[in-house]
Structure 1
Amino acid sequence: MSLYVEGLTSRAPNSGMAEFQEVMRKELEASMHTELEKLLGTTKGAQAELARKDFEGFKKIFHRFLQAKGPSVDWPKIHRPPEDSIQPYEKIKARGLLDSVAASLTKLVVVKLNGGLGTSMGCKGPKSLISVRNENTFLDLTVQQIEHLNKTFNVEVPLVLMNSFNTDEDTKKILQKYAHHRVKIHTFNQSRYPRINKESLLPVAKDMGLSGENAEAWYPPGHGDIYASFYNSGLLDQLIAEGKEYIFVSNIDNLGATVDLHILHHLMSQPNGKRCEFVMEVTDKTRADVKGGTLIEYDGKLRLLEIAQVPKAHVDEFKSVTKFKIFNTNNLWISLPAIKRLQEKNCMDMEIIVNPKTLNGGLNIIQLETAVGAAIKSFDNALGINVPRSRFLPVKTTSDLLLVMSNLYTLDAGSLTMSKKREFPTTPHVKLGSSFTKVHDFLMRFESIPDMLELDHLTVSGDVTFGKQVSLKGTVIIIANHGDRIDIPAGAMLENKIVSGNLRILDH
């Protein structure tokens, strides 16, 4: 992203511009190294060692950031992936399971990305500790799923949580409650990188502390950091020594991301020389998914294309559901020995995502991140599998939360499946207004979660509350104007209705 460097050097004479920019890059890099050493000087012992490891990774990404030149794809070189590089799930499933399920499971580790906070839903602490169904949190449901697997097949599939400095302490306190569950739980922390002042391109941190003003000076650098952090933690080597071969990685807030025995069997049944080292689960794109990353062929390799890499002139084309029909669910199956090999050879190649933010004091910063799926092009025999939409059930907002709390889904051994009573397999489109954004406010507005089995579309805006045993069918739009309030009474049935103004519905 040399645009930043070019901005700093725009007043330089045109002759020798490239050389001048190279000098500027080297000066910026030297200044960054000096600032990082100063920060290291503010801490001692084990924390200093940990920070030094993190900073080595940060220096690499900062160097690549200074070298980059705008969006990292040449649009004419993009091609649709070859037919056999994205397999339909039904084809994988049709091969059956044979008798080796337990043997395959002994080679598996489940990894959940647990670095995020619940701030977007108005919660403090790790997002994984938000209650999503019958008082169960994301973490509870994950543990229940794996425990059920371990008991059913008499195996010991471990759970690994990649925490961040934001979530580690709170998560570890909660883990004590699973001490008597049949799940062995490991944790490791992703890196801690310094946020960069957008103007000076230097760290905003004054020291290594995480309190006061300095709390905003640090960030976890995206889930692409999993490879380096996992390797540096020593846990990768430990699991390989225990005979583990694959990790199944997913976001902890994706309630559809359960261990799929058919995909695992497909991986384990490949001949050794042709072993698939990386599987990305993709699913059909709808108009709600237009910003999701997609798989392309580029320079003869399968590659993840994210919207941030697309030249502005082609963004509409990228969002099209006709040209790019699938998107990445971030459910990934990755070979442990392959991660070790690529880390040791320093061959893990991931595009940098430049994420601009404004801190509370108004300071404009950038943070440099990577995405776990972007490493697909570094692995051998990588494959996409087009899975059913049911494997992508993320809870990013209270609108998503309403769906998973409702009778649209049944809960069994930690897994949510769509109710057989729903006539069509698609999920209703739900859009709740700003009065529902925070989980606390959301819960206060529902005396009980409505019956949504026959719902297609729900939009709610303004000061609206729902009584007990409300039923919603078809398309329902409820809009309370500013200063007005709408109370939907207990037992009300709304079918294909628009409710607006300042209303109390008194009959059914």
Structure 2
Amino acid sequence: KTVVIKLNGGLGTSMGLEKVKSLLEVRPGVAFLDLMARQILSLRADTGAQVRFLLMNSKSSSDDTQSYLTKAVPEIGDPSELELLQNWVPKLVRETLEPVRHSDNPELEWCPPGHADVYPTLEGSGWLDRLLGDGVKYAFISNSDNLGAVLDPTLLSYFAKGDLPFLMEVTRRTEADKKGGHLATRKEDGRLLLREVAQCPDPDLATFQDVERHQFFNTNNIWVNLEKLKTVMSSSGGVLELPVIQNAKTVDPRDSSSAAIFQLEQAMGSAIECFDGAAAVNVPRSRFAPVKGTSDLFILRSDAYQVGEDGRVQLVDSRHGEPPVVNFSSEYKLVDSLENLGQPSLLEADLLEISGPVVFAEGVVIRGEVRILNDSSEVKIIAPGVYSDQTLSL
């Protein structure tokens, strides 16, 4: 009765990738997509249920994703039967709100409309009716770069037994999350709503970022009752009436002198305000482990995490749910920079800061808080050994 939907439209452009982010390797020869497929296959084997699986791809990610699944995980099924194809919308000229024209590269005139596009895409593609016709009642939706977002039978049972229309997984905000969208209650009707930083006026920014006042943020792990989604969408012309986020950018993101435009987006979690009886559940931080930059990937590839045969990626028990923190200088912004960096042991690390070009030899162990500083442009080798609660100036 359940479908797992992964939002898989994003390219890893911020990390220097020109392919879909889910093709990044977590372990040698094992990409995010492999692990997602393993998770589904394991669920099917363990439960005896034919858990459905869909990927919401963009036109930028579709070919790479389908090609990879065909080659690497043929047992997951026909990739074309696993695809939701995300819509595209025009970028708007800031001054006139007309669709922008960019003759140098017309493709740059268009952009994806945000993760909330999963709802009209399900409806418009016919997948919503198809799933309902097959007896599928529940959807678990999450980002493809969040390997902590695994279908949890306990959460599914809670969602189903409570007959909830919509359930958002939230977790406690920390200072690191203060710019993330937080949960709030709408005064006029008591419904829950999601407020993103782009919707916050400047005078209220300090309050928005107060992690004691607004204690919970959206993990973007969402549970939806598809029957109730169909009812709500049918009552509002086949769409959900969601707040629109206005992102100010340039038509060519690599050219700051190109035309000033707005990209209009909607947040998937903002649909919480569309459903009577929608709820939120406080989940462990382990269910929110996204890879947004190279430091996240570096940690995920380390021995602080273990990868199971079932595709689950978890912190080792000795970490007690607390991942190490890694801060990189600008030399390490792109994924390619990790290939020659080496991989020290982070099993007992609390904090690793690296500034300047270095390479870890095999057999380096980081314990506690370690800072490595290289002010020169020459690459320095970190020799094998244990580095514990120290600053290393090279």
TM norm structure 2: 0.93
Measured in 1, the distance between the counterparts of 2:105 and 2:216 equals 42
- Tell me, yes or no, if structure 1 residue 404 matches structure 2 residue 297: no
Quick one: structure 1 residues 189 and 239, their matched pair in 2 at CA, closer, same or farther if it must change by over 3 Å?
same
Contact 2:89 2:113 in 1 (8 A): yes
Measured in 2, the distance between the counterparts of 1:228 and 1:461 equals 45
- Tell me, yes or no, if structure 1 residue 378 matches structure 2 residue 266: no
Query: Which residue in 1 is equivalent to 2:176?
Result: 288
| Offset at residue 416 of structure 1 (A) | 0.9
Q: Answer 1 or 2: which has greater helix percent.
A: 1
- Tell me, yes or no, if structure 1 residue 466 matches structure 2 residue 360: yes
Query: Which residue in 2 is equivalent to 1:498?
Result: 391
Q: 1:353 aligns with which of 223, 245, 248?
A: 245
- The answer to which of 244-253 and 290-299 deviates more is 290-299
Secondary structure of 2:49's partner? coil
Measured in 1, the distance between the counterparts of 2:210 and 2:27 equals 34
Measured in 1, the distance between the counterparts of 2:27 and 2:172 equals 26
Contact 2:198 2:247 in 1 (8 A): no
| Offset at residue 485 of structure 1 (A) | 3.5
Quick one: structure 1 residues 428 and 183, their matched pair in 2 at CA, closer, same or farther if it must change by over 3 Å?
same
Measured in 2, the distance between the counterparts of 1:475 and 1:199 equals 49
Measured in 2, the distance between the counterparts of 1:179 and 1:142 equals 10
- Tell me, yes or no, if structure 1 residue 486 matches structure 2 residue 383: no
Equivalences, count: 383
Contact 2:37 2:73 in 1 (8 A): no
Secondary structure of 2:75's partner? coil
Q: 1:79-90 alignment to 2 at 5 Å?
A: none
1:28-87 Cα distance to aligned partner (Å, 9 max, x none): xxxxxxxxxxxxxxxxxxxxxxxxxxxxxxxxxxxxxxxxxxxxxxxxxxxxxxxxxxxx
Contact 1:222 1:371 in 2 (8 A): yes
Q: State the AA in 2 paired with 1:166.
A: S
Query: Which residue in 2 is equivalent to 1:418?
Result: 315
Secondary structure of 1:253's partner? coil
Q: 2:225 aligns with which of 325, 331, 335?
A: 335
1:386-411 Cα distance to aligned partner (Å, 9 max, x none): 00000001011110011111111111
1:430-458 Cα distance to aligned partner (Å, 9 max, x none): 11122111111111111xx2111111111
| Offset at residue 482 of structure 1 (A) | 4.3
Task: Indicate the percent of aligned positions where both proteins have the same amino acid.
Answer: 38
Query: Which residue in 2 is equivalent to 1:277?
Result: 165
Secondary structure of 1:354's partner? strand
- Tell me, yes or no, if structure 1 residue 311 matches structure 2 residue 201: yes
What are the ranges of 5 or more consecutive residues in structure 1 without an aligned counterpart? Answer: 1-106, 504-508
Query: Which residue in 2 is equivalent to 1:389?
Result: 285
- The answer to which of 314-323 and 191-200 deviates more is 191-200
Quick one: structure 1 residues 180 and 463, their matched pair in 2 at CA, closer, same or farther if it must change by over 3 Å?
closer
1:353-375 Cα distance to aligned partner (Å, 9 max, x none): 11111224422211100000001
- The answer to which of 237-246 and 358-367 deviates more is 358-367
| Offset at residue 349 of structure 1 (A) | 2.1
Q: 1:182-193 alignment to 2 at 5 Å?
A: 182=76, 186-193=82-89
Secondary structure of 1:349's partner? coil
Measured in 2, the distance between the counterparts of 1:433 and 1:257 equals 29
Instruction: Tell which structure's C-alpha radius of gyration is larger.
Output: 1
Contact 2:193 2:272 in 1 (8 A): yes
Measured in 2, the distance between the counterparts of 1:296 and 1:418 equals 30
Measured in 2, the distance between the counterparts of 1:434 and 1:302 equals 39
1:329-349 Cα distance to aligned partner (Å, 9 max, x none): 000000111221222222622
Query: Which residue in 1 is equivalent to 2:346?
Result: 452
TM norm structure 1: 0.73
- Tell me, yes or no, if structure 1 residue 124 matches structure 2 residue 12: no
Measured in 2, the distance between the counterparts of 1:195 and 1:482 equals 43
Query: Which residue in 2 is equivalent to 1:326?
Result: 216
Measured in 2, the distance between the counterparts of 1:381 and 1:133 equals 41
RMSD across aligned positions (CA)? 1.6
Query: Which residue in 2 is equivalent to 1:223?
Result: 115
